């Protein structure tokens, strides 16, 4: 039996974001296919799986419980609370102690475990002091229900407040060539405080790949439909920037996604990335990116082609942006 992983620092720098097996990008993956993919990930050497109560309103945690808990000692398990299905059936952000406790207990039941290695506050409920929500997570840790405490989509200032209440082991935020907001402050804050920075959407929700999604063909339930960068007034310019990156991939012999992942990992040794996929081929290709050693010239070329000046449109619409706490670039 494999040795149990005890910290995020024990894991490979490429983990698996499990969200899109159950949530966000359209029709959920059939369960049998999802089970095969998750087990194939472990076979390849992935040892960090990331889920959340929000994903499929519990369906993703249930999937992991069915699919891989017989191999529990082979991977580091991360999940999230603070954003979940509310009484009206819609997404709810709630950081009150009683809500966090309830969602944690439900997650443990769905996952079929007694302990979650890393538990994030998925969103900071701005009506609740961050210290109060983190204090509740610290109590859950003391009770043995969770291990390390993480935050998602927070600013450096909020991270520091939370860290004074209890050490924060990880911060999860969108980061890629086309989303550079963490470079304002939170990347450096994580480095200073000894927290791992976990980059979600490191291939830009499928954009930094060899086959960019076609916005006109996205189904109504695909969350990218409401993201400004996928809308007509911005998409053409964004596609043009990324086509330049695709040309670099062809020249170097790597996939565009591998270049995107290698670039993210090059930004600091405290950074890990958690791309998601429903494809076993992409699963293997993404994992190989951890071993890429791109030249300084290639990294600089990627940086020049896809950056905050060449990508058009905000990453979220105004309503979603109001729910998060990350720093934003000024115009």
pTM for the whole structure: 0.97
Residue 301 lies in a domain: no
56 lies in which domain range?
A: 8-205+264-293
Backbone angles phi, psi at 115, to 5 degrees: -155, 135
Residue 172 host element (H or E): strand 170-174
Say how many domains are in the chain: 1
Please report, in tens digits, the pLDDT of each residue of the chain (331 residues total): 344 678 998 899 999 999 999 988 988 899 999 999 999 999 999 999 999 999 999 999 999 999 999 999 999 999 999 999 999 988 999 999 999 999 999 999 999 999 999 999 999 999 999 999 999 999 999 999 999 999 999 999 999 999 999 999 999 999 999 999 999 999 999 999 999 999 999 999 999 999 999 999 999 999 999 999 999 999 999 999 999 999 999 999 999 999 999 999 999 999 999 999 999 999 999 999 999 999 999 999 999 999 999 999 999 999 999 999 999 998 6
> Domain of 36: which CATH number?
3.20.20.100
Residue 157 lies in a domain: yes
SS3 content of the chain, % helix, strand, coil (to 5): 50, 15, 40
The pLDDT value recorded for residue 244 is 97
Q: Looking at the annotation, which residues are catalytic?
A: 55
Q: Nearest to residue 150, comparing CAs of 106, 203, 200, 205?
A: 200
Residue 162 lies in a domain: yes
Residue 31 lies in a domain: yes
Residue 48 lies in a domain: yes
Residue 77 lies in a domain: yes
Residue spans of alpha helices (H) in the chain? 31-44, 59-67, 97-111, 130-142, 156-165, 186-193, 232-252, 256-266, 280-288, 296-305, 318-321
Q: What is the pLDDT of residues 131-183, one digit of tens each?
A: 999 999 999 999 999 999 999 999 999 999 999 999 999 999 999 999 999 99
Average pLDDT across the chain, whole number: 96
- Give dist(CA 76, CA 55) in Å, integer: 18
Residue 283 lies in a domain: yes
Residue 195 lies in a domain: yes
Q: What is the pLDDT of residues 176-209, one digit of tens each?
A: 999 999 999 999 999 999 999 999 999 999 999 9
Look up tokens 């950081």; give the residue.
95
Q: And the tokens for 172?
A: 């999860």
Backbone angles phi, psi at 49, to 5 degrees: -110, 135
């Amino acid at each position: 039996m494999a040795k149990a992983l005890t910290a995020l620092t024990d894991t490979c720098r490429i983990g698996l974001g499990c969200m899109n097996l159950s949530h966000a990008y359209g029709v959920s993956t059939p369960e049998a296919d999802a089970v095969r993919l998750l087990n194939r990930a472990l076979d390849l050497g992935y040892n960090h799986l990331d889920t959340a109560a929000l994903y499929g309103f519990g369906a993703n945690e249930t999937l992991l419980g069915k699919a891989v808990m017989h191999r529990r000692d082979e991977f580091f398990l991360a999940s999230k609370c603070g954003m979940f299905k509310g009484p009206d059936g819609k997404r709810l952000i709630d950081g009150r102690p009683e809500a966090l406790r309830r969602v944690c207990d439900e997650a443990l039941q769905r996952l079929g475990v007694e302990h979650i290695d890393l538990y994030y506050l998925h969103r900071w409920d701005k009506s609740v002091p961050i210290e109060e929500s983190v204090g509740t997570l610290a109590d859950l840790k003391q009770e043995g229900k969770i291990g390390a405490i993480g935050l998602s989509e927070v600013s450096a200032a909020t991270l520091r407040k939370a860290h004074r209440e209890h050490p924060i082991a990880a911060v999860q935020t969108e980061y890629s060539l086309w989303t550079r907001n963490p470079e304002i402050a939170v990347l450096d804050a994580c480095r200073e405080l000894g927290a791992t920075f976990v980059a979600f959407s490191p291939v830009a929700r499928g954009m930094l790949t060899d086959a960019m999604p076609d916005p006109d063909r996205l189904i109504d339930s695909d969350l990218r439909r409401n993201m400004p960068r996928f809308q007509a007034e911005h998409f053409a310019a964004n596609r043009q920037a990324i086509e330049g990156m695709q040309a670099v991939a062809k020249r170097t012999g790597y996939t565009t996604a591998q270049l995107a992942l290698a670039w993210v990992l090059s930004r600091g040794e405290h950074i890990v990335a958690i791309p998601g996929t429903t494809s076993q081929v992409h699963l293997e290709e993404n994992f190989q990116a951890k071993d890429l050693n791109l030249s300084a010239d290639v990294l600089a070329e990627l940086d020049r082609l896809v950056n905050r000046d060449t990508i058009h449109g905000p990453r979220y619409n105004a309503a979603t942006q109001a729910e998060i706490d990350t720093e934003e670039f000024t115009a």
